[in-house]
Amino acid sequence: MASPSFKLATWNINSVRLRIGLVEDFLNNHTPDVLCLQEIKCQNDQFPLKAFRELGYEHCAVHGQKGYHGVATVSKHPLREVSSTDYVAMGDTRHVECVLDTNGGPIRVHNFYVPAGGDEADPVKNPKFDHKLKFIDEMKQLTSATANIPNILVGDLNIAPLENDVWSHKQLLKVVSHTPVETAGLNDVMAQGAWTDLIRQHIPPEEKIYTWWSYRARDWDAADKGRRLDHVWSAPELAEKLTDLTVLREARGWVKPSDHVPVMATFSL
């Protein structure tokens, strides 16, 4: 008997209400079991639950706020133990977690939207960068397995940790999202929590891969000045069951797209 397949997707949608049509098309075409969204930019009661439920995603964990930030996890599977953590006690809605019971057993999913950090990579001069570094530091308490349940951590972590996660390692070393202090911090989160970077498990570190391209580029595809800001991590036992990892680059070329593209991980549970 074949093992059940489980597919999870993560996507910084940059306003779920503005781009609900793109989300509907994505779900119809790719049918993940779970979709984790970041930057939903709406309050909980404004989240378009009806659209998701009509597509079979009847279970939702939404943590939003007016006009900014916000995360949501929608699922075909029932969700339980839904909670969120207010990292750095800023009152921002940047995290939601839940346990879902798949055909292969329970999985805890953490959905994150890490602060971008502003423009200047100096925590003294730039409070936004200071906030980001403190946020990452607090994430070091997360572990890849809790209460014997394997965990998945996804989202827009706003850091491209490896040299080939950016279009030019040398030119971006002093640019927020690829500075040594940020990449070291994110690597510490991964190491201390015993997480596996599933994108780089599937796609060798020697190969360039991006999930974000700036709106400022006239021709994002030709210029290809991207960064890998979106991540999918898991407990080692889930990493062993990964069968496919897809970065949907084509989504950056859709009509009125997000500047991020969906990332999908498929497991044989």
The structural domains of the chain, ordered by start, are: 5-268 (3.60.10.10)
CA distance 82 to 63: 10
At 129-160, the pLDDT tens digits run 999 999 999 999 999 998 899 999 999 999 99
Low-confidence ranges of the chain (pLDDT < 50): none
Task: Please state at what angle helix 180-192 crosses helix 127-139, rounded to 10 degrees.
Answer: 20
CA distance 198 to 238: 10
235, amino acid identity: A
Which two structure tokens, joined as six digits, stand for 198?
């599933």
Which two structure tokens, joined as six digits, stand for 98?
């839940």
Mean pLDDT computed over every residue of the chain: 97
CA distance 201 to 205: 8
In angstroms, how far apart are the furthest CA atoms of the chain? 59
pLDDT value at position 217?
Answer: 87
Residue 160, phi-psi category: left (phi > 0), alpha (psi -120 to 50), beta (remainder): beta
Q: What is the reported pTM? A: 0.97
pLDDT value at position 2?
Answer: 62
* Residue 256 DSSP code: S
State which H helix or E strand residue 95 sits in: strand 95-102
pLDDT value at position 4?
Answer: 84
CA distance 40 to 47: 8
State which H helix or E strand residue 247 sits in: strand 242-247
208, amino acid identity: K
